Amino acid sequence: MRQECRKYTLDDVCSLLSERKNTLIIYHARPDADAIGASFALKLLIEAMGAKAICTCESEIPSRLAFLTEKHQKSAKFENIDKSFEFERIITVDTASPSQLGELQGLFEDRVDLMLDHHENGIRYADSYIKSDYAASGEIIFEIAEKLVSLGEIKEIPRDVYDLVYAALSSDTGCFKYSNVSAHTHMCAARLLAAGIDAAEINHRLFDCKSEQMLAAESAGFQNMKFYNNRKIAAVIFPYELKKELGVEDEHLETLVDVARAVDGVKIAMSVRQSTAYRSFRISLRSSCGFDVSNVAKHFGGGGHTKAAACTIEADSIEFATRLVVDEIMRRWGKNN
């Protein structure tokens, strides 16, 4: 990892992009619509300037989000991309720490030329442009897009960029209802709406359409919920055996933390998911009070925001992994909560 990483300005980023180099864009494992939308929007901007770009990730694009990318790239999973592609630089998007690269960390961590991100806590592993006051990485990409137009680097913003950025914003703000929404977020969304996007359709696809597998996982997750600290902390525990029994994939488990958060009276929600038989557990954290879950995630090598964060823990059992996180929450939260 580089010893010193520079902090870029918006002008610096646009100057870098104006070099028109073929680019490999990497986003975090188990991607959400912000990671995917922001990355593919950046891909279209780079292509509009005359260079080539490929988006990639440890994980495949979840089927429920494929509507965002199917016109632009058949697959983003690293093993499926064109290995003959000769990239001249690497940009990571929405990836707060190198561990979030998953299996790609060892290949690319020390080769990243630019880190674009909006998370408050994480590990700065490359020269970066980080806007922690922005609700989504999509806001950063749209800011870059508008700046490139003003500089004359592109004549106009490609039409699909608007859809991709809106999906990124809406996803990371819970359809604009989370506390990370700012006036800037709404003004950005207003300009996207003015461009003629179908916001109703995008939000329907993001929030109202769930597969039978996802609904089955949510139901089973509710049955496997545990409560702590007088039911102020709720944890959905989803072991590998349950995943096998239901025949679901990792992409069907992304909303489990929302099941815990929906319970009345719960202040801190978490999901603990085991993807394989290996003793590795993915922790998603959400806060609906003043408690900063990003510090808990950072303690375990992850990162995120005050209200939403994630990390991966290796432990002897899913119960022990859950206990580790709950104990860390309680240590930081104090006995009076």
- 196 plus 222 within the same structural domain: no
Same domain, 57 and 122: yes
Q: How many CB atoms lie within 10 A of CB 336?
A: 4
Residue 260 inside a domain? The answer is yes
Which one of 207, 225, 246 terminates a domain? 207
8 Å CB contact between 133 and 120: no
Are 59 and 178 within one domain? Answer: yes
Would you state the torsion angle of the CA atoms of residues 96, 101, 107, 112, taken in this order, to the nearest 10 degrees? -30
4 is a domain residue: no
My answer on whether 187 and 290 are in the same domain is no
Do the domain assignments include residue 39?
Answer: yes
The pair of structure tokens assigned to 139 is 């806001």
Q: Tens digits of per-residue pLDDT, 251-291? A: 899 999 999 999 999 999 999 999 888 899 999 999 999 99
113 within 8 A of 90, measured Cβ to Cβ:
yes
**Does residue 47 sit within a domain?**
yes
Q: Is residue 161 within a helix (H) or strand (E), and if so which, with residue range?
A: helix 159-172
Q: Is residue 1 part of a domain?
A: no
Q: Are 133 and 168 in contact (CB under 8 A)?
A: no
Domain end position, chosen among 207, 238, 262 = 207
pLDDT digits (tens, 9 = 90+) for 164-202: 999 999 999 999 998 889 999 999 999 999 999 999 999
Q: Tell me the pTM.
A: 0.86
Q: 241 lies in a domain?
A: yes
In three-state secondary structure terms, 114 is strand
- Assess whether 55 and 108 both reside in one domain: yes
Query: What pLDDT score was predicted for residue 305?
Result: 84
CB 161 within 8 A of CB 41: yes
Measured N-to-C along each axis, helices 137-150 and 159-172 cross at an angle, to the nearest 10 degrees, of 150
What is the rounded distance in angstroms from the CA atom of residue 42 to the CA atom of residue 46? Answer: 6
Using the 3D structure, point to which of 207, 225, 247 is the last residue of a domain.
207
The reply to whether 92 and 158 lie within a common domain is: yes
Say how far apart CA 164 and CA 173 lie, in whole Å: 14
What average pLDDT score do residues 96-109 get? Answer: 92
- State the sign of the Cα–Cα–Cα–Cα dihedral 267, 289, 179, 120: negative
Shared domain check, 224 and 180 = no
Q: Which two tokens stand for residue 49?
A: 């300037």
- Scanning the structure block, which residue is given the tokens 């975090």? 28
- 196 & 216 share domain: no
Q: Is residue 223 very low, low, confident or very high in pLDDT (cuts 50, 70, 90)?
A: very high
Q: Are residues 151 and 251 in the same domain?
A: no
Mean pLDDT of the chain: 94
Tell me the percentage of the chain whose pLDDT exceeds 90.
85
User: Using CA of residue 44, residue 31, residue 11, residue 132, what is the dihedral sign?
Assistant: positive
Residues 116 and 199 in one domain: yes
Q: Which domain holds residue 52?
A: 10-207
Q: How many structural domains compose the chain?
A: 2
pLDDT at 335: 55
Q: What is the CATH number of the domain that holds 251?
A: 3.10.310.30
